Structure 1
Amino acid sequence: MRTQTILIALFLNLFLLQGCTDVGERVYDKYPADEFYGSPEGADVALAGVYSQIGGNWGGVGYAGADNGWYDLNSMSADEQVIPHRTTGDWQLDFARLYKHEWLPTDFIINNTWNWLYESVFSANLAVEQLENSGAEQAKVAEAKILRAFFYYLLMDDFGNVPFYTENNITVEELPQIERAELYDFIVSEITENVEDLPTTKGGSFYGRFNRWAAYALLAKVYMNAEVYTGVPQYAEALEAIEMLEQGGFSLHPGGASESSPLGYRYYELFGDTMPEDETILAIFVEANIVSRNIFTVRSLSGPHAQALFGYNGWNGTIVPTAFYEKYSDNDIRKQQFLVGQQPGGVTYSTQVLSLDNPGAAPFAGVRNIKFYPVPPMDGGGASNDFPIYRYADFLLMKAESHVRLGNAGQAKPFIDAVRQRAGLEPLASNPTLEDIYLERGFELNWEGHRRQDMIRFNTFLEPNDFRGASQEFRKLFPIPTSALNANPNLQQNPGY
């Protein structure tokens, strides 16, 4: 049984209170809205409506956990994973087209991502309005505004110039499209003006919520990619934001051997049932079939293999491209997440993948990934592994990168070495280069949703791979969906589409 209190559970409990017989009960549906949302319980209900957007679910909803949404769009357009069409006829071509940089404005994964993000902005706008109108405590208003900044950051990162609004009393066809740099300024100001109003509480009721440290993590991410968004680098500002989040007292979780881990190391506790508080800054709470889901392992393993391990069939979907897998050192504990060769269930995975789409990959072609080794409750629709949005290892590597980009490679070395040594590797023999940091980010953060952004920042996103030639510059942005253009005549499509 989990000990964390989550907002969605609070939301349910508030309305269960309506059925109790205590004469002193507060029956919230009889209260005026302003009074309700001004109460601590009502403020949490307003915020719960926004947080419910983050957990992954069917139909492309959520940040990560299910399929056909933001996570797939940003992970499979990079170099770390793809779902090939199979020669058996399984799997649609959308994922292979993402990997080959052949997506179109009509693609449903792009449309799903756009719709989810704008539904989330709408929810955040509503929460801000409810909380401000009710005179809720400033910490709750600040939390809603930080959530809105988070969703706009994801929109800015994927789509560039996008529709912008902070009040919901506007029709779709009236939404103005603003420049990416203007949205960047809004996001930075929204975070910096509200971050110090957020609680410093870690865990408990703030597991999976934006506290002060998670907001500084978001700010560091925005600054880290400022040159991509505005043309002006802000690496010194990124360092300052990381130093602020470090006041939360984070450290690398131990990575040593563990007999209780199905992958053999404590490192993999970072991807299990409850994210360790020492390293986790912001996580998605998952309870399969109740709150979100985590499909990543069941989607990767083949049917008979997953059946032999867990008692239900796998989907035989996601693979790790061979070139990505082969970059790992054999003594790197992070290589334990990959499966090749003979497996239980009479399955043998090969590293050789000859085609992604025409005619497609053989049934058992491709390296598989069990980084999120399923925890119960679990079934063929997913598992209850929580998902790390931000964890400290990411920000140690961002510190290292910022120092190198600012000409201080010597100061960067301890941070990258700490991540390497936790993984069982030797420290670097010399001061790190940007290439060292880029590779280490791939090793450490694969399948956590950061890779496309990293590849764009390090200028590798357009490089050719085994299944396509070099991509054109316009592929650094996704297209605005055709459905959005049809609904709003104010929108201009991104160049190249």
Structure 2
Amino acid sequence: MNRYIKHSNKIFGAGLLALVLVFSACTDLEVEEKDSFLRSEAGAFTPLTPEGVTATLQSAYADLRDNWGNQENMYALQEVSSDELLVPTRGTDWGDNGVWRALRQHTWDGTHRDILGAWNILNRNVYKLNTIIASSTAATPAQLAEAKFLRAFNMWHVLDFYRQIPLREATDGVDVDPRVMQAQEGFDFIVKDLTEALPSLPATGTGGDRKKASQAAAHFLLAKMYLNKHVYVGGTPVAADMTSVIQHVDAIKAVGFKLHDGYFDIFKNANNSETIFWTDASSGNRIWAGLHYFQKTYDKYKDDTFGENTGGGWNGFSTTAEFYALFEGDANSNEPGAGQEERRGFVPKKTDWYHAGIGYGFLVGQQYDSSGNAMKDRPGNPLVYTKEFASQNSLTGNNERQGIRVIKYHPANGQANSYYVLFRYADAHLMKIEAILRGGTSTDNALALYNELRVIRKATPAGAITLDDILNERGRELYIEGWRRNDQVRFGTFSKPFPYMTIADDHLSIYPIPANALSTNPNLKPNPGYGGE
């Protein structure tokens, strides 16, 4: 079916009004129905049928695939703004009107592409899920639980990024300005959704369908909520909240999740003991965003034969020497057997031909093709990825070789392998260690848990740990998985200068409410430090 509706161009503070309204700056737009149900008349909500609930829930899962596999929006806000990733301009490549540089250098405002894009996407997703929850008589208890979990997942990102959550109920008319929940109310709303969802979600362990909401996924998100509660609502960590983190992590472990021995195997597929929740997004964006234009791989065909693809990398995303230095190993070599911890990865001089010479983890130094030949860049220089950029004060003027590249999802698993991890157990394990150090009650010892992770990752055990060690360990374990900004904010380092970010200002720990949202919903107010208070 290809039905269309048109509507007036009222812009809603809640972002895009899913299934009904589309953000528009000045003109009417058409909305094409694809895999969910549109209202027959804007503003008149009719509860979904059982078939409509099923289709809309499927669409909400597809949103995870489409939204979180992208390198823009949520991923850009979490990673490129942090000390973990940056996107230097190489000639004119990756200039993009400065959007990438503004994220790394914390010079954004309420018109930034990704700040607006994430706001619209997340609030659109929330509204879509509201239509399921408002159609409770047509939904099964399991479907309602899934919808509440997914709504909580999207709302958590709104809370984490913006601290204000607009809420448009499915039954609200189009002329109603969405009400706005401030941080405490938003926190309570999300926790209530997850708590109500838990009993009706499946108790999925490592052998079940982890692409769908489960009790373990809900416990994970609740642990993340309580770990960050003091950041969202103010104050300092409360022991009872930290104990809640520990209890939720223990509940995940109780159904069989545990650390997986073989770090890069975790990112092959869901068949491991760590993956709690994943989506079928293509891993292509994570693979190609940093690799050089000449770094190619081989595609596996249906008959199990291989052929070289004609594409190559996009030569963008990189990391810094300072972040690379967090890892144990020889500072001057990342070749196999150079004494580095497993998570830092390696650059092979020669490997199986379908790996095409592409390494794992952090790619630094000379790069090789599948025959062991030293590669060159387009002008003919040796393709040596350097630790330093053209300038310590600017992200412009770089050549094709500058910057360490980072890769976890390897093209040998399929350059479009549809597997992207959202939640995994090592993160929960580290949350528990942090919660113990912040005053939570547990029968486990934080140092013993910390060393359990380091030993399985082939790193040297520690004799003692501090909270600073936990932040660094989270960086080593979870790099490019979409958690770094959240971690830096919680540990107080996001608003302190770090390489290629010189602004020390606490208000930047929260993104601005997009200018378009402020202009259309009077219930929204500018976040502190962004004017108009």
Change (3 A) 1:374 1:170: farther
Partner of 2:486: 453
Q: Between 318-327 and 225-234, report the one with greater CA deviation.
A: 225-234
1:331-480 equivalence runs, <5 A:
331-336=340-345, 337-344=361-368, 345-346=375-376, 347-355=383-391, 357=394, 359-375=396-412, 377-378=414-415, 383-406=416-439, 411-430=445-464, 432-480=465-513
Aligned partner of 1:253 in structure 2 is 260
1:222 maps to amino acid: M
| Aligned-partner Cα distance in 2 for 1:170–1:152 | 21
The partner residue of 2:112 within 102, 107, 112 is 107
Percent identity over the alignment? 31
Given that 1:372 and 1:385 are in contact with CA atoms closer than 8 Å, whether structure 2 keeps it comes out as no
Q: What is the 5 A alignment of 1:172-251?
A: 174-202=177-205, 206-231=209-234, 233=237, 234-251=241-258
**Letter matched to residue 464 of structure 1:** P
**Kept after mapping to 1: 8 A contact 2:88/2:396:** no
The Cα of 1:494 is off from its aligned counterpart by 0.6
Q: Which residue of 2 aligns with 1:315?
A: 314
Consecutive unaligned residues in structure 2, runs of 5 or more: 1-34, 36-45, 299-307, 330-339, 346-360, 369-374, 377-382
How far has the Cα of 1:204 moved from its partner?
7.5
1:255-291 Cα distance to aligned partner (Å, 9 max, x none): 2xxxxxxxxxxx211112x1234111111123x4xxx
Q: Distance in 2 between matches of 1:34 and 1:74?
A: 36
Matched residue type, 2:388:
Q
User: Is the CA contact (8 Å cut-off) linking 1:69 and 1:113 kept in structure 2?
Assistant: yes
Name the SS for the 1:386 alignment partner.
strand
1:264 is matched with none
**Is the alpha carbon distance of 1:48 and 1:385 closer, same or farther for their aligned partners in structure 2, counting shifts above 3 Å?**
closer
Q: What CA distance in whole angstroms lies between the structure 2 residues aligned with 1:166 and 1:236?
A: 34
Q: Which amino acid aligns with 1:395?
A: A
C-alpha deviation, 1:313, in angstroms: 1.6
Letter in 2 for 1:128: I
Residues 88, 363 of structure 1: 8 Å contact kept: no
Distance 1:459 1:46 in 2: 39
- CA-to-partner distance for each residue in 1:443-463, whole Å, 9 max, x for gaps? 000000011011111111111
Instruction: Write the distance in 2 (CA, Å) between the matches of 1:49 and 1:207.
Output: 17
Equivalent residues of 1:101, 1:471 under 8 A apart: no
Distance 1:357 1:487, change over 3 A: farther
Q: Which residue of 2 aligns with 1:9?
A: none
- More displaced 10-residue stretch of structure 1: 199-208 or 71-80: 199-208
Alignment of 1:268 with 2:258, yes or no, is: no
Residues 391-433 of structure 1, C-alpha deviation per residue, up to 9 Å, x if partnerless? 1101111111111111779711122111111110122113x21
* Separation in 2, partners of 1:279, 1:149: 22
Alignment of 1:158 onto 2:161:
yes
Given the alignment of the two structures, is residue 97 of structure 1 paired with residue 102 of structure 2, yes or no? yes
Q: Deviations over 1:216-257 (max 9, x none)?
A: 1111110110000112532111111112222221111112xx
**Aligned counterpart, 1:133:** 137
Paired with 2:165 and 2:214, the residues of 1 have a C-alpha distance of 27
TM-score, normalized by length of structure 1? Answer: 0.82
Match of 1:66 among 65, 70, 80: 70
RMSD of Structure 2 on Structure 1 (CA): 2.3
* Contact in 2 for aligned 1:75/1:81 (Cα 8 Å): yes
Distance 1:332 1:486, change over 3 A: same
SS of 2:131's equivalent in the other structure is helix
Query: Secondary structure at the residue paired with 1:359?
Result: coil
SS in 1 for 2:64: coil
Q: Which is richer in helix?
A: 1
- Deviation digits for residues 79-119 of structure 1 (CA, Å, limit 9, x no counterpart): 11111111344432211110111111101111110011011
The 3 A distance-change label for structure 1 pair 392 and 90 is: closer
User: Which secondary structure does the structure 2 equivalent of 1:55 belong to?
Assistant: helix
Change (3 A) 1:358 1:439: closer
* Aligned with residue 300 of structure 1, among 287, 290, 294: 290
TM-score by length of 2: 0.77
1:54 pairs with 2:58: no
Mean alpha-carbon deviation: is it higher for 393-402 or for 348-357? 348-357
What's 1:22 paired with?
none
Secondary structure (helix, strand or coil) at the match of 1:406 reads coil
- Shift of the 203–476 alpha-carbon distance from structure 1 to 2, 3 Å rule, reads same
